[in-house]
Amino acid sequence: MIEPSAQPKATTAPSPPRRPDWTYHFAAQRGAWIALLIFAAMFTLFACEHPAGFSHNVINTAANKGALLALVAMAQTFPVLTSGLDLSVGMVFVLTNCVASTLVSGSPWRVAVGVSAVLGTGLACGALNGAVVVWGRLQPIIATLATGSLFYGAALWLRPSPGGTVDDGLAEALTGSLPGGIPCSIVLLAALVFFVWLPYRHSVLGRAAYAVGSSRQAAFMSGLPVARAQFATYVLSGFFSAVGGLLLTGLTLSGEANAMLGGSYNLSSVAAVVVGGTSLFGGSGGAVGSIFGAFVLRTIGDLLFVLDLDPLWQPLFLGVVLLFSVGLSSLRLLRIKNRLDIYR
Amino acid sequence: MLSAWTRKVDKRVLASLACIVLLLLGGSVYSRNFLSLAYLLQQLQVASFLGIVATGTMIVILLGHIDLSVPWVVTLGGMMATAAGGWGRIGGAVAIPFAFVCGLGMGLVNGIGVAYLRIPSMIFTLGMNAIAQGLMVVHTSGFAPQERATPAMHFLSVDRSILGIPNAVWMWVLTGGLASLLLSRTAFGRRVYAIGNSERAAYLSRANTKLVIMTCFGISGACSGLAGMLLAGYSTKAYQAMGDPYLMPAIAAVVIGGTSILGGRGTYYGTVTGIIVVTLLQSILSIVQVPEAGRQVIYGAVILAMLLTYGREEKSSV
């Protein structure tokens, strides 16, 4: 029994001076900040070199292209946070594009029903993925590959050949720009961040997702809803892919069951997530970083265009930049003191 | 006796063997030619390309990694082989080893990135895939390279020299036999499984884990290059994106064959059954007159159903 009056040991080392709070916040968001800086530098160069200069049109086109990938990359972020992966995002993106091109036209009432059907399709696809991964206990990579094939089949069934229409007003509202020259797609991204991502991030489910990514066992032991949190990440992933599909329909004004497109968005979304500072091992990062990651990837292509690089060299250059940017992360090896930490 | 045998054979492999029987029966109900020797040999020939790719994929998956650079390394193998075939007299002789070496080189770079730079394999091999694609785009458009397969490549993938069995199948038997020996009979193979279970433990038992990982990625790249060369021989020419239909089926075949995608568990004969399952499934779907949409849905649903019946992780409360 310790005496209540016992003094703490006099030899206790003085605690190191406390770092100010913002340094912790900054460290947690470092990846997103780096991606933002790279994007800002690249975009400034792009706009300066562009023959048409810093015009509304240039910005709007760049924003729309970037927002497409940004939405799919945000979708990918959710499962990655729990150290999962969703390789069906590209196919949900394609499927919802086909759904939108079929249903979203006609009277305002029908457009509203169509939009909810598109978003509902995304949620349903996500729920299927989540159920298969969480309660089916399948590995996410292989399970979502299989469901991706299902979704692509459904898209092909809806649209055996490219076509369809979409309501012009909605398309304009999604891809046009506001009077101030602010692209609507950016407003859409901001709205999703403020009304979906941030509330989610601070909810129990969101924090549980981060906890599951850091340590599943610890999250379970702390009584967090592990299964529900994982399920929610896949559902949200489906939702964001569906928003992406809707935006794609607004841009192309038609629908196409394009397997190549879906496949390339699958892979680019993973790349954008990593460039945006989210760890593939889960537990750190966030959807905002993925937005910047997506914009970085898209600006690389644009940059090559305005710098008059031979278009033939573009794919190679894109690969080199991608490898270089992920290669930077291996600099952390220099800081590791215990060699065992290198090995998982 | 029987129980000892069944205990030794993985339940998952038995399940995928059952799938093969079911698929064969299902196919024979639809068409009587399905069970003919000629048709089955042709299926085996088609399977051998997937088989060689999946051999490399399996070794990498056993480590707990994944190789997403398969599509364009396969294409690179095919294109390099045909391009080398155009170098006059020496060309024909070096074409085949050249494809192998190019694939090996790409694989080793993957290995350096994953093992030494410690970049997650999923993203590094993805980047290498983009680089291989970029290289091939530059290669095919800068000047006009030879794209026709050499007679030797054609011989290796189409001709039937021994026992009427296609040479491509013999190539698969050779690759698979070597891989299976490597995995089950050598210290290297033991280390592959050990790393898949825990790289940290393998490192602490003085295995040179980085070298093993790099070698495995090299093997995977070499298998892809080889498969690309054979494919070019099979279709008489190399073309863009010829490797695209091999990545996902290879992963599916390995997992259906009972290899854990987390690494450390799996057998080569399991992978062989997985490859046959995937090939038969694709073949049935192509002969049954279902539109492409239906085929995609059935393909996905069947793979999902197979995985749900026997590809699940062990149940744990955590």
ipTM for this model? 0.75
Spell out the residues 6+ positions from residue B251 whose beta carbon is closer than 8 angstroms to its own.
Answer: A141, A142, A145, B57, B61, B66, B261
* Average pLDDT value for residue range B26-45: 80
- The reply to whether residue B119 touches residue A216, judged by beta carbons under 8 angstroms, is no
Cβ separation of B124 and A323 shorter than 8 Å?
yes
Q: Which amino acid is at A4?
A: P
Selecting from A132, A271, A313 the residue whose C-beta is nearest the C-beta of B126 gives A271
Amino acid B106 reads M
Residue A54 included in any domain: no
**Domain assignment of residue A274, yes or no:** yes
Question: Looking at the domain assignment, is residue A44 inside a domain?
Answer: no
Find the closest chain B residue to A226 by CA distance. B318
Total number of domains constituting chain A:
1
CA–CA separation, B196 vs B180, rounded Å? 16
User: Chain B residues with CB inside 8 Å of A340's CB?
Assistant: 200, 203-204
CA dihedral B226, A317, A297, A281 (to 10 degrees): 50
Asked if residue A256 is part of any domain, the answer here is yes
User: How many interchain CB pairs under 8 A, A with B?
Assistant: 163
Is residue A177, in this structure, part of any structural domain at all?
A: yes
Whole-number Å distance between alpha carbons of A226 and A174: 36
E strand spans, B114-227: none
Tokens coding B230: 């054979």
What percent of chain B is predicted at pLDDT more than 70? 92
Average pLDDT, chain B: 83
Phi-psi region of A178 (alpha: psi -120 to 50; beta: other; left: phi over 0): beta
* Residue in chain B lying closest to A266 (CA): B126
Comparing A180 with B74, the larger pLDDT belongs to B74
Could you give all domains of chain B from N- to C-terminal order, each with its CATH number? Answer: 10-310 (1.10.3470)
Contact between B131 and A319 using a beta-carbon 8 Å cutoff: yes
Name the amino acid, one letter, at B174.
Answer: L
pLDDT reported for residue B8: 62
Q: Which of B68, B119, B254 to mutate to test the interface with A (most CBs of A within 10 A)?
A: B119
Structure confidence at residue A1 as a pLDDT band (50, 70, 90): very low
- Taking contacts as CB-CB distances below 8 angstroms, the residues of chain A near B262 are 139
Per residue in B170-187, pLDDT (tens digit) is 889 999 999 999 998 999
Each residue of A270-318: pLDDT tens digit? Answer: 888 888 888 888 888 889 999 999 998 888 877 877 777 777 777 787 7
Would the CB atoms of A153 and B124 count as touching at under 8 Å?
Answer: no
Identify from B69, B123, B255 which residue to disrupt to test chain A contact, counting A C-beta atoms within 10 A and taking the largest count.
Answer: B123
Give the closest-approach CA distance of B119 to chain A in angstroms. 7
DSSP string, A215-274: -HHHHHHTT--HHHHHHHHHHHHHHHHHHHHHHHHHHHSSB---HHHHHHHHHHHHHHHH
CA distances (Å), origin A151, targets A238, B53, B193, B310: 11, 26, 35, 23
Distances (CA, A) of B69 to B1, B30, B128, B233: 44, 37, 6, 21
- Token representation of residue B67: 């190789």
Taking contacts as CB-CB distances below 8 angstroms, the residues of chain B near A132 are 304, 308
Q: Domain containing A192: what range?
A: 60-307
Q: Are B173 and B109 in contact (CB under 8 A)?
A: no
Domain assignment present for residue A204? The answer is yes
Alpha helices, DSSP H, located in A159-203 = 168-175, 184-192, 198-202
Closest CA to B196 of B279, B261, B249, B102: B261
pLDDT value for A227:
92
In a domain, A194, yes or no: yes
When scoring B122, B199, B317 by the number of chain A Cβ atoms within 10 A, the one with the most, hence best to mutate, is: B122
Average pLDDT over residues B244-257: 85
| Averaged pLDDT for residues B120-146 | 80
- Cβ–Cβ under 8 Å, residues A134 and A120: no
Whichever domain contains A77, its CATH number is 1.10.3470
Point out the residue among A155, A280, A314 whose CB comes nearest to the CB of B123: A280
Give the pLDDT confidence of A99-146 residue by residue, as tens digits: 998 888 878 888 889 899 999 999 999 999 999 999 888 888 878 888
For chain B, give the percent of residues with pLDDT over 90.
22
Chosen from B70, B244, B297, B299 to mutate, greatest number of chain A CBs within 10 A? B297
Of B130, B261, B291, the CB nearest to A141: B261
Task: Say if the Cβ atoms of B137 and A315 lie within 8 Å.
Answer: yes
Residues B72 and B45: their CA atoms lie apart, in Å, by 22
* Distance from C-alpha of A69 to C-alpha of A72, rounded to nearest angstrom: 5
Whether A123 is covered by a domain: the verdict is yes
Contacts of B137 in chain A (CB under 8 A): 312, 315-316
